[in-house]
Amino acid sequence: MITVEKTNTEVRVTIPHDALPPKELDAFLDWLRLEETVQRSRLSEKEASRIADEIKAEWWTANKDRFIPPGKE
């Protein structure tokens, strides 16, 4: 059984080993860490979108040949 303990400064979640497969537990913990980072971030939504678009454009430039053969553009 998953248990939750709350104090003035913390929330402790106890998850039994057999409650979740390791990959799902890792994904859940990654999500929690991401949420923590987002909460502390001072990045505006507009700036985050700009950075995301820039990253996607760079990725596409580096990888488009894997999806579209050269000369077929």
**Mean pLDDT on 21-49:** 93
Which residues partner with 14 through β-bridges?
3
Spatial separation of the C-alpha atoms in residues 37 and 13, rounded to whole Å: 19
More confident residue, 42 or 70: 42
Q: Under 8 Å CB-to-CB from 1, ≥6 apart: which residues?
A: 16
Using the structure block, give the residue that is written with the tokens 């939750």. 4
Give the sign of the dihedral formed by CA 4, CA 5, CA 6, CA 11.
Answer: negative
Instruction: Give residue 9's pLDDT.
Output: 97
Give the pLDDT mean for 15-19.
93
What's the pLDDT band for 46 if we cut at 50, 70, 90?
A: very high
DSSP secondary structure code for residue 66 in this structure: G
pTM: 0.57
